[in-house]
Structure 1
Amino acid sequence: MNLSLVFQSGDFVLIAVFLMLVAMSITTWSIIVLRFVRLRKVKQGNAEAKKTVLGAFTLKEAAQKLGSNESPMGQLTAESVRAYQGYRQSSDKTLATALPLNEYLVIQIRNSMSQIMRQFDGGMAALASIGATAPFIGLFGTVWGIYHALINISQSGQMSIAAVAGPIGEALVATAAGLFVAIPAVLAYNFLTRGNKSLSQDMDAFAHDLHVRLLNQKD
């Protein structure tokens, strides 16, 4: 089927529907490629950061070695060590430093984890919105195209199968295009949600180990 006929014979609304679906498809695949590449780099960086932390004698040494590591675990280690050092070296009495070291570290690590994990929410709302609305946008284009096809047929007076099947068939392409855009968006959203959940679980386990090691630091 020649899709160029849709742009040649379709009206403004039908053309706008197809252009909107094309923009949604480009957005979806851009997010998919960028997020998948980033997720892979994050896993590699986390593995390297975890190995460095476990192999270091002190967390201060580990933070220095992780200077160029921008993985979530590397960032969490650096921020937790800074919070630990700030608590130990602070001479000012504040609400934060008035807490016991254990509770202070729990608050700081939890806040750092929230800020770090928020970076991985980018694009998720777009994928969810595209997956939910693309089929309806395509269906709207189909209904609009069929309506105008029937109006044109009634005005021309041609009631043959060829006269009906052509315009209506072109209008039905809009529904197929909507599904073509929505299915990858939904699949990518589910996969990335699972990836974020797995990353969050790994971060929770790492944060627990980091918290224990900070409490037992002697330097």
Structure 2
Amino acid sequence: MNLGMVFETGDFVLISVFLLMLLMSVVTWSVIIIRLVSYSKAKAGNAAAKKIVMDAFTLNEAAQKVGSINAPIALLTKESVSAFQSYRQGGKGTLATALPLNEYLVGSIHNSMSQIMRRFDGGMTALASIGATAPFIGLFGTVWGIYHALINISQSGQMSIAAVAGPIGEALIATAIGLFVAIPAVLAYNFLSRSKKTLTQDLDAFAHDLHVRLLNQKD
């Protein structure tokens, strides 16, 4: 089967389906590559930042040393130490000092974690949407192609197997392409979701240690 024949003999709807499938495939693989690179950098940055924090004598020193690292643990350290300093430097009667230090740090660390991990959500909605809709879009293209192929065959009066197999076979390619686009999107969504969950668990474990160290930090 010649895929080029679809663009030569297909109508606007069928051609649009194939172009949409192509766009979905490009988006899927772009998201996969970008997210894999970001997770790889985040994992390496977390390892480096955690070592710096654990080896530092004070959290202020740790926050300064991880300033150039763009990783979740480094960002959480800087923001948490900044929140701790803001609390200590805040005057009496302010909203910051209205809460005990423990509750203030818990809220601040939780909010920082949510904001930090939110940047790893990019492209996930697109992968989920592509994985869910691509097979149905491909099936729509197949149904549309078969419908018009049968109409053309009935108008031409040629009912041989050769006359039927060619147009219908080209229409069935739409379903195959829909699956070809959807399967990588679904697999990538599950893998990247698991990767984000792992990063979140590592960040959560570090946050508990950081919280304890901040509570015991000397003024």
Report the TM-score, using the length of structure 2 for normalisation. Answer: 0.99
Q: Are 2:212 and 1:212 aligned?
A: yes
Write the deviation string for residues 39-89 of structure 1: whole angstroms up to 9, x where unpaired. Answer: 000000000010000000110000010110110100000000000001011
The corresponding residue for 2:106 is 106
- Tell me the residue number matched to 2:158: 158
Please give the alpha-carbon distance, in whole angstroms, between the structure 2 residues aligned to 1:92 and 1:172: 73
In the alignment, does 2:142 pair up with 1:176? no
Gaps of 5+ in 2: none
Q: Distance in 1 between the 2:151 and 2:92 partners?
A: 79
Mapped partners of 1:102, 1:35: distance in 2: 35
Match of 1:34 in 2: 34
User: What CA distance in whole angstroms lies between the structure 2 residues aligned with 1:70 and 1:204?
Assistant: 17
Contact 2:24 2:181 in 1 (8 A): yes
Q: Whole-Å Cα distance in 2 between the matches of residues 180 and 214 of structure 1? A: 51
- 1: CA distance between counterparts of 2:200 and 2:67? 22
Residue aligning to 2:22 = 22
Equivalences for residues 58-73 of structure 1 within 5 A:
58-73=58-73
Segments ≥4 residues shifted beyond 4 Å: none
Per the TM alignment, residue 95 of structure 1 is displaced from its structure 2 partner at its CA by 2.8
Shift of 1:92: 4.4
After superposition, residues 141-152 of structure 1 pair within 5 angstroms as 141-152=141-152
Q: CA deviation at 1:108?
A: 0.3
- Equivalence for 2:115: 115
CA distance in 2, matches of 1:133, 1:90: 52
The AA in structure 2 aligned to 1:36 is L
- Aligned equivalents of 2:12 and 2:140: distance in 1? 13
Q: Identical aligned pairs, as a percentage? A: 76
The RMSD of aligned alpha carbons is 0.7
Aligned residues, how many?
Answer: 219
Gaps of 5+ in 1: none
Amino acid at match of 1:144: W
